[in-house]
Amino acid sequence: MSLGSIDSTSEDELVWLLRHKTRRRIILAIGDSGKISATTLRDMLKISTGSLYYNLRQLKDFVRQDEDRNYTLTEEGERVYKVLKEGGVLSLDLLKPRPPSRFMKLLTNMFFPIWLFSPLYESIGLRIITSSLSIIVSILLLIYTRTSPLILHIYGSSTNIFEIVAKYLGNLVITYLLLTFVSILISGRLFHQKGVGKIVEGIKSAALSSLNEELKFFFSLIIAILPMMFYPGLLALDKFFNLHLLPEPGKPGYYQIRDLYMIIAQSISLPFLIALTAYGRRLNGTTAAIVVLLVYFISHVLSQLLMMSL
């Protein structure tokens, strides 16, 4: 059986799928078992829960869950399974891969924290509680420090509480729309399709697949962007305890220290945004990083324009 016999998935996407060892192993394990639970699959493949759910999301056109929450292959997945079996890619190194070192696991968990978003996507209760707490903490810090967000930047704002809250909520929507739009463009799936129907399918494969999925992404975004509150958090500590962490505006070093705190906050936020974009938009880590960095660039340009207008 050749790749060309699989009609509903583009050849480029299939090549991308088959090149990834973990996804090949998932397809093979489910195909060999017929149906299998997530726990058994995780133990069999010896991968983390976050990695498992991330790759299962990437394989959503090929894998499904039954009523008992066991994983089985779709018709498309069965075809891919046959390609893998007939192609002779089933080997000992696929079934028993060399486990990554603890150092590599630590680095991956720090700079690509997929582990955070798999439980958020799976549990509606956890998602609502954590996103609500994130909103409350963020709004309180912004109001106390009289600041407002602009995508991935924080700037001084008016003293009007309702205006600060409106800007925060509006910024969440703008950031969501930017991440969604750029993800669709950068994924490349849009430009490989011909015809309106195929273009719509290409868009849905990257984003906007369902209202439920978009709500999951939006509420997870609230949590992913919370580290940006590191900057108003420092301002709040400085204001409350009079720590002199930031010079008065106009004093020597004010802008340099302010920008340093902003960069630290952005640096903490970027890995979470990259992991969320990869998980929620079914992108690989490199593509998700490009998406987030482009959004950061847009944020930087808009921030500079805002500063110039003040």
Q: What is the pLDDT along the chain (310 residues), one digit of tens a residue?
A: 444 445 445 555 565 566 678 888 899 999 999 999 999 999 998 888 888 888 888 888 889 998 888 999 999 889 888 878 876 544 434 444 555 667 776 777 788 888 888 888 888 999 999 999 999 999 999 999 999 999 999 999 888 999 999 999 999 999 999 999 999 898 766 555 555 555 555 555 555 667 888 999 999 999 999 999 999 999 999 999 999 898 888 788 888 999 999 999 999 999 999 999 999 988 888 899 999 999 999 999 999 998 887 6
Bridge-based pairing state of the strands 71-73 and 147-150: unpaired
CA distances from residue 62 to 9, 59, 213, 258 in whole angstroms, order as listed: 10, 5, 17, 48
Q: Whole-prediction pTM value? A: 0.78
Quick one: which H or E segment has residue 156? Answer: strand 153-156
Mark whether 73 and 198 lie in a shared domain. no
Mark whether 275 and 190 lie in a shared domain. yes
Largest Cα–Cα separation, the chain: 71
Mark whether 89 and 132 lie in a shared domain. no
Tell me whether residue 103 is exposed, middle or buried, using C-beta atoms within 10 angstroms of its C-beta: 0 to 12, 13 to 18, 19 or more. exposed
**CA angle (279 as vertex; 287, 222 as ends), nearest 5:** 105
Backbone conformation region of residue 268, classed left if phi is above 0, alpha if psi is from -120 to 50, else beta: alpha
Question: Cα 31 to the chain's mean position, in Å?
Answer: 28
CA distances from residue 186 to 52, 163, 283 in whole angstroms, order as listed: 24, 34, 9
On whether residue 86 sits in a domain, the answer given is yes
Sign of CA dihedral 135, 140, 143, 146: negative
Mark whether 195 and 301 lie in a shared domain. yes
Mark whether 150 and 28 lie in a shared domain. no
Tokens of 305: 């324009």
DSSP 97: P
Mark whether 212 and 305 lie in a shared domain. yes
Residue after which a domain boundary falls, among 81, 99, 117: 99
Whole-number pLDDT of residue 207 = 58
Question: For residues 252 and 10, what is the distance between their CA atoms, to the nearest angstrom?
Answer: 58
Mark whether 9 and 149 lie in a shared domain. no
Whole-number pLDDT of residue 164 = 96
Residues contacting residue 218 through CB under 8 Å, at least 6 positions apart: 172, 176
Mark whether 190 and 301 lie in a shared domain. yes
Mark whether 197 and 113 lie in a shared domain. yes
Q: Encode 16-69 in three state secondary structure.
A: HHHCCHHHHHHHHHHHHHCCECHHHHHHHHCCCHHHHHHHHHHCCCCEEECCCC
Mark whether 35 and 117 lie in a shared domain. no
Residue where the block lists tokens 């299998």: 36
Question: For residues 88 and 137, what is the distance between their CA atoms, to the nearest angstrom?
Answer: 54
Q: Can you state the percent helix, strand and coil of the chain, rounding each to 5?
A: 70, 5, 25
Question: For residues 307 and 310, what is the distance between their CA atoms, to the nearest angstrom?
Answer: 5
On whether residue 230 sits in a domain, the answer given is yes
Q: Are 56 and 114 in contact (CB under 8 A)?
A: no
Tell which residue, 301, 309, 276, 290, has the closest CA to residue 119.
276
Tokens of 7: 């009609």
Overall domain count for the chain: 2
On whether residue 104 sits in a domain, the answer given is no
Quick one: which H or E segment has residue 64? Answer: strand 63-65
Mark whether 127 and 246 lie in a shared domain. yes
What SS3 class is residue 153? strand
Question: For residues 51 and 30, what is the distance between their CA atoms, to the nearest angstrom?
Answer: 16
Quick one: which H or E segment has residue 65? Answer: strand 63-65
Q: Which domain holds residue 93?
A: 3-99
